Amino acid sequence: MKIAVASGKGGTGKTMVAANLAFTLSQTCQVTLVDCDVEEPNLHLFFPAPATAKDVTVQVPVIDQKICDRCGKCGEFCQYGALTVLRDRVLFFPELCHSCGGCTLVCPKNAIHEEPKRVGIVTHTKPLPRLDLVSGNLDTGNPFAVPVIRAAKMATAGDCLVILDASPGTSCPVVETLDECDACILVTESTPFGLHDLQLAVDVTARLGIPAGIVINRNDGQDQATFNFCTNRDLDIIMTIPFDRGIAAIQSRGDLLCRVRPEWMKAFTTLYRKCCGLAGVD
């Protein structure tokens, strides 16, 4: 069972929901929590523990300028403008390269081979007896989050219950996180921005064919527009978390709602059951 937590809008409480859901489930079974928000991973703040790290690399081309005759085929092929063929040499822009490997295939002289380039790390911790936390961490200055997310997900292959905390937005990093998930929790908030971006996120889950349920966080009781949207799109509101200064205070000091107020574990257990219902498993 793989459950993604996404939102569209940033700051709605994805990490809060993912952390409390994983904490609650880890009381009774083995859980893996994956931080796929690799540009600013922060789940580890809720679960401090000693970590082991592995590099994430992508393959980038290296051109043997002695063999290369500047025919220009690689530059023509590269859609991303990462290779420019001059009269006397080939220029390579690593930050434009998508590591597709096409240049090595089209080179008639076999003058291009690939070498690994580090783009980030994946860390692994075991903060609780039944909780594993895997975090993707993109190197500063690197524009490609997807290979790091993929590596973090690969590290959890075979784990039976996985909760994935997505980044905000609706672009490639979110799509990569959602790929092959059984259900998605979409966290929104009681603001026009929360609803606007929820609509975008719902379109993404629908396009990917992943069943989604809605969590309204910081609920102020004025969510008619969100209710209407959910009714029109046939989406269930699977949890509501009130706008509450006490909850915000717990969160702000890096603690967990369910650890400080264990009565909330019931609500997160129910959230998990509803996710199972969305995924069509008992």
Partner 1 sequence: MKICITSQGSTLDALAEERFGRAPFFIIADTETGSFEALENQFAGGSGGVGPKAAQLIIAHDVKALVSGMVGGNAHEVLKAAGIQLYVYRTSGTVRDAMDQFNKKTLEKVA
DSSP symbol at 266: H
Residue in 80, 110, 180, 236 binding partner 1, rule: CB under 8 A:
80
* HEC-encoded secondary structure of 207-240: HHCCCEEEEEEEECCCCHHHHHHHHHCCCCEEEE
Does 69 interact with partner 1 (rule: CB under 8 A)? no
x/- contact string, 209-238, with partner 1 (CB under 8 A)?
------------------------------
Report H helices in the chain.
14-25, 73-77, 102-106, 146-154, 172-178, 192-208, 224-232, 245-252, 257-260, 265-279
Residue in 27, 57, 84, 191 binding partner 1, rule: CB under 8 A:
84
Which of residues 89 and 273 has its CB atom nearest to partner 1 in the complex? Answer: 89
Does 86 interact with partner 1 (rule: CB under 8 A)? yes
Which of residues 11 and 102 has its CB atom nearest to partner 1 in the complex? Answer: 102
Residue 86 C-beta: closest distance to partner 1, Å? 5
Does 79 interact with partner 1 (rule: CB under 8 A)? yes
Does 75 interact with partner 1 (rule: CB under 8 A)? yes
Cα 254 to Cα 97: distance, rounded to the nearest angstrom: 38
* Interacting residues with partner 1 between 90 and 119 (CB under 8 A): 91, 93, 96
Does 89 interact with partner 1 (rule: CB under 8 A)? yes
- Max Cα distance, the chain (Å): 71
Give the DSSP letter string of 38-78. TTS--GGGTS----EEEEEEEEEEEE-TTT-----HHHHH-
**Residues that bind partner 1 in the complex, under the rule CB under 8 A:** 75, 78-82, 84-87, 89, 91, 93, 96
